[in-house]
Amino acid sequence: MDVETPTAENPQFSSPPTFDIVSTYRTILASDPDLTMPVAAIEALVEVIAHSTVSTVAETLDLLERHTAILKSSIPNPISLSAGTDLFQRYLVTTLNRPASLNLGPDDDFRAIRNHLLSNGRLFVERAKASRDKIASFGKHFIRDGATVLTNGGSRVVGALLRRAAESTHMRFKVIYVLPSSTSVDSSEGHQIVADLRSHNVPVATIPDSAVAYSLGKVDMVIVGAEGVVENGGIISRMGTYQMGLLAKSKGKPFYVVAESHKFVRLYPLSQFDLPIEQTVIDFKVSTTDKSVSAEPNDEGIADMNAEEVRKFSGNSAQDAVDFTPPGLISGIITEAGVLTPSAVSEELIKIWF
């Protein structure tokens, strides 16, 4: 416990950057395949606090802000991650600004919270994992006997839900799994889930993206995972989810999103191109004068390097790209705390931010 560190050490408070948050984050993420990005980010931030000598609220928040910025700039798509860091930051702000909330003496708050965070880091991870189980345990009620479920991508929550449904003895349901043909990380995760489901005696059919509309006639419901749930109740998820939503809507099939509530992120995109990341999905080219055209976006990318929010997405194709599914297409968001209508998301976010 270095909590006794006097404030006199403040001047040398610039030392923390020696702590490499990015590698910590990556280690945490790699150490546990079940971990989601937001939770890994929270873990990394807890580590930051543990390695620092800060002793005041302002210092802590400043420290976290800097590290969050470093972390966000280090990965191509920080949307999911920012859900975790924002949640953590808001938690600290709310707790620290309301001394009475811990019923301690005013001088104790900071220490108490710090200790709470440091000693319970593991617990947060456990909780986050438990929430996936919780989602699975009652989300499986959505799958009725004889149903055919359409899903996509390598979402672990969806995988857990389907597995749980398969384990309950009397359910007979079929799964149509949309798998990208490429060999991205996503599709390997998808293959894993497909193999897992098949070993549980669930008939699984895999189809390419292009066959979604074709297959929809045989489908009773669509269940997808999400990288982030945004403020208006829409979701940010892997490329292809939006079109599945549109198609499901047009066919009148229920479209459910499965996501833990720590994936709620404070963004309000109005269209596909409002996301705070830059994706080169649409890349106009002509065959001969290749350089002149493709140079343009590159220039912009360099110009935006300094801009805090927009980051050049290095992932080249649609494989790892994401799209935004507007709330109107979503029938319900299954979280560990119940089924929310899309409009309930903003209320939850407003509660922690204001």
| Residues at the contact surface with other proteins, assessed by CB under 8 A | 1, 39, 42, 87-88, 90-91, 94-95, 98-108, 111-112, 115-117, 119-120, 123-124, 127-128, 130, 134, 137-138, 141-142, 144, 168-170, 261-262, 264, 331-332, 335-344, 347-349, 351-352
238 or 253: CB nearest other proteins:
253
Collect all residues with Cβ–Cβ distance below 8 Å to 287 and sequence separation of at least 6: none
If DSSP codes are grouped into helix, strand and coil, which group holds residue 90? helix
Q: Which helix (H) or strand (E) holds 342?
A: helix 342-353
| List of residues 6+ apart from 241 with CB closer than 8 A | 152, 153, 224, 226, 235, 323, 325
Of 109 and 278, nearer to other proteins (C-beta) is 109
Q: Give the Cα separation of 85 and 38 in Å (integer).
A: 7
Tell me whether residue 13 or residue 91 sits nearer to other proteins (CB atom).
91
Measured from the CB of residue 77, what is the shortest distance to other proteins in angstroms?
22
Cβ closest to other proteins, residue 1 vs residue 282: 1
Looking at the Cβ atoms of 13 and 124, the one nearer to other proteins is 124
Nearer residue to other proteins within complex by CB, 123 or 185: 123
State how far the Cα of 255 lies from the Cα of 235, in Å rounded to an integer. Answer: 12
Q: Cα-flanking dihedrals φ and ψ of residue 227, to 5°?
A: -85, -40
Strand order in the sheet with 322-325: 228-229, 235-238, 322-325
Shortest gap between Cβ of 167 and other proteins (angstroms)?
A: 11
**Smallest distance from the beta carbon of 90 to other proteins, in angstroms?**
8
Rounded least distance, CB 132 to other proteins, Å = 12
Torsion of CA 218, 221, 224, 229, to 10 degrees: 150
Within a 13 Å sphere around the CA of 222, how many CA atoms are in the beta-carbon half? 31
**Cβ of residue 83: shortest distance to other proteins, in angstroms?**
10
Look up residue 328 and give its DSSP letter. Answer: G
A 10 A CB-CB count for 276 gives: 16
- Residue 123 CB, shortest distance to other proteins, in Å, is 6
| Rounded Cα gap, residues 36 and 95, in angstroms | 24
DSSP reduced 3-state for 175: strand
User: Least distance to other proteins from the beta carbon of 88, Å?
Assistant: 8
Closer to other proteins by CB, 164 or 311: give it. Answer: 164
